[in-house]
Chain A
Amino acid sequence: MIWNPNKECMSREQMRELQGKRLQKLVQYVYHNVPFYRNKMQEMNVSPEDIVTIDDIVKLPFTTKQDLRDNYPYGLQAAPASEIVRVHASSGTTGNPTIVGYTRKDLAVWSEVMTRCLTAFGVTRDDTFSVSYGYGLFTGGLGAHYGVENLGATVIPASTGNTEKHIRLIRDLNITGIACTPSYALYLAETLDKMGIDKSEIGLRVGAFGAEPWTENMRKEIESRLGLKGYNIYGLSEIMGPGVSYECQEQNGSHINEDHFYPEIINPDTLEQLPYGEQGELVFTTLTKEGMPLLRYRTKDLCTLMDGECPCGRTSVRMGRIVGRSDDMLIIRGINVFPSQVESVILEMPEFEPQYMLVVDRVNNLDTIQVQVEVRKDFFSDDIGSMLAMKKRLSDKLKSVLSIAADVRLMEPGSIERAQGKGKHVIDKRKLQ
């Protein structure tokens, strides 16, 4: 099923024309409403009149995560505050989260693109659908929620946590679809086993999985253990949230909602635009956004773009799997974690040496993060209680900064390997093959 064939199956010429018009309008809008972009364009000697077709996008400046941080909280917002009806935030590296404001129209677009995704997954108004992304500042929960409502299915806002209760609801309410991270889906499968409930006792048939990288093997495992078909959904909060792209029944790449989010692949070193089929950094321009529109936002995600017809009938460009990151960001249980966030917490606490190591793993299909820190000689104590209190102080601070729990290991001074030059602070044991 296709929710909006007018847009999803538009001819390529019509789509390019629409994108060109929208880009023109967008550039006028940000030029006059966002000093950051006006200054950048003036420095580059580009005026809004220089943008005529979508191909002119290469004349425009890039936007980076650092730009969002530098303009914290509302510096890149284009719409007046009175037009903003919701704000989401995602974690940043320096303690400043990224703040994204949405206008009423932005939320309507978001619901629309989410509904396209769900429809492509085969969800209909007859489904009962559990949204098991976290609700809150994170875009996952509410983003998926309004898509399900817009589609007309029944939404169960389960959020995360209390997995056993959730499984009872899945069984008792005959929940047929679920949106969550792939690692949470595997955790659900395990809990199901633990509770002694067979997959035949539950009616899940569709899973919308995203917010963290996953593999074909994980898909197979989730599908066989939960008895459903799993689809990839991609998004990022800076651009919108979940719903930027989605798999169709062909599952050969994810269709991008390119009437709203214009994709490019660039060489992350030269910043040159690359042709379809070449691997590079994914860049998005929000063609229709009002609250915080972004020009050529560098996602840091590495992948390829594919054009050409898809047997499903959609004509939109597809993106391949994310094969890596062009920086050191870690995605843990769908949450962005930067080593520098951990560093800033440790540097603030006199009890610890400025040495640390993050060990990331996937245990029982759930991402785990361990933070190893060295206790300074003067802060050792013969009292176990005070050592445990020290550990808890650090755990609590990390939890509030990272939004996820980290397992803190207190180490002896000198026991963490010193890196030469730029410190290597991450050991990622997750195998994404």
Chain B
Amino acid sequence: MTLQQISTTRRAFLAGSGLVIGLALTPRLSAFAATKGVQAGGEDALTALNAFVKIGADDTVTVLSKHIEFGQGPFTGLATLVAEELDADWSQMRAVHSPADDKVYANLAFGLQGTGGSTSIGNSYEQLRKAGATARAMLVAAAAEEWGVPVGEITVEKGRIKHAASGKESGFGALTVKAATQTPPENPKLKDPSQFVLIGQELPKLDTIGKTNGTAIFTLDIATDDMLIAVVAHPDHFGASVKSFDDSEARKVKGVIDVKQVPQGVAVYADNTFAALKGRDSLKIEWDLSKAETRSSKALEADYAKNFAEKGLEATNNGDVQAAFSKDGVQTLEAELVFPFLAHAPMEPLDAVFMKAADGSLDIYTGAQFPGMDLATAAKIVGLDPSKVRVNTQLTGGSFGRKAQFGSPYMQEAAAVYAATDRTRPVKHMWTREDDIRGGYYRPMYAHKMRGAIDAEGRITAWDQVIVGQSIMGKADLDETSVEGASNLPYVIPNLRVTSHNVELAVPPLWWRSVGHTHTGFAVETFVDELLQKVGKDPVEGRLALLTNEPRHMGTLKKVAEMADWGSTVPDGRSRGVAVVRSFGTYVAQIVEISAGDDGAPRVHKVWCAVDCGVAINPNVIKAQMEGGIGYGLGAVLFDAVTLGEGGKIVQSNFHDYRSLRINEMPAVDVAIIASTEKPTGVGEPGVPPIGPAVANAWRRLTGSPVRRLPIVNVVTS
């Protein structure tokens, strides 16, 4: 379906749904005295039927999203699950972030509240449908009681509760108070997928209108007249700390209220943002580098490579790799790959607002990806009982993994900045883009060494892969996130060994959209492509022949080949590449068509993408995540690295030297979703891994040069 077609179907939805676009687009001309944050859990006037569903007297149904909405669509997805079983009309659905609660709102895949690993839809699929079905049953029971008719004679459709025989009819709002007193059924019957009315439809997203007219509130937008804006001066080296500082010039800046040392650096508090920034620029700080990382990226690379010769942690060891390489007539292929540190660079830099309530309790507004952890961390630092702290998760300008941090190090800084004040004024703590690019918690730097064996008959008989990098989980033994995608190689190769080495650096590591697959996907898919080329096999046919145990890999690969008319003639000067990666239970195959751009770097014209994510809850959201994942991943493989210069000083600082893909570099994208009745799996991350290797494979076939080091632009244009 083209976007044009989507917009036609969706217009039908919009027209029928009572969404008044004209009203929503009315310009807001007057200045506000204050911008309030959005209260977690929805307005007090709503009636809760369970932890996830609240209904208003005006018939609106508000779904409490335990997952943060930062662009991947959980508000819409979770509301769809509820609406389906509630038999609601889409126009009455609303969504809001739930309060922080690691039990009630646990991610069932994690055991605590959190968003990540592309799990939001998967872990909620039954839970939220059950919440909808339970609420429906309570409304029906209330109607039966009210009307004195049997429950079994009542029907619900598009938000209307009806009793045909008596002609009685009601919306949800009029019955919700009574419904709340009914006993919820233990195990309400859920619909069979064949009965779905809303699941699988391209329903308009619930958060679009506010994000189109400037009214959507993000943490950075929250403001009161007496609010302090705080920024922190951070060191240029990881692991450095404040030795001494001189704030005399900073304090002279009009609007600067105070300067305090915090564990993370020196905080400047001001009446407005510009004064805070100016004050920070005027600080003179001497840093203690005794515990800092002082190696450059170049030095780290050399240190990483030393590990290749050492015995590593074994992730997989099938067959006899050693023997396969020493057979007579075996040809070998070797490759060493280097992956840089990557910043997530979400569009909204990290931020948090702290406001003391009249009773002494504390409201925190922030983009909380692990709300329970953020709450516990903040409570400890400000010295309040956790029951006296509320974390109100706000709409958030992206994350890509950045806001999911064990131990909440960002919240540690923000809370310390608030705690250092006298707490009479609300405080907004914000990071600038420079703080963000230089703030660490990167996708770690990795090095891979690959060896492949091809026997006398041209079969790929052995694969030996060594992966060196930081353990994201902070483990001394094998970290699955370092080897995922390689240790469970989908290709049938009789002798397979994957080992890893964990290295220690002062640069804090973190998951970055698709985690281990950001590098293992690239390594595996470029290396298998080179091996296939060496044995004269077609990249698609050759892969299919090695994927005999993997029907869903095969399904997406065949589909994408069909979409791209793989094997047809490609225009002069262009070349194509393919990759297929399973990540987070979702299968994605992509084919790219590229040429060499004017600057000598690859120019990607077109991407075909086939995705198998089980039941498709909202095809439009799935396509959007594929498009976004492709653009995000492409920008990184083409342009991005955070590097440490001489002495370990961080080199990059903002979008001029940490490049993002721009619209003129975005390829046309065509997405197909494989029809499936499997349980739904996530789509936030899986669009990312295949794009890099697909481009690198096309580039190798175009130029003869394999890509051994990312970003590609550094190699081809330097």
Is A bound to B? no
Residues of B whose CB lies within 8 Å of any CB of A are none
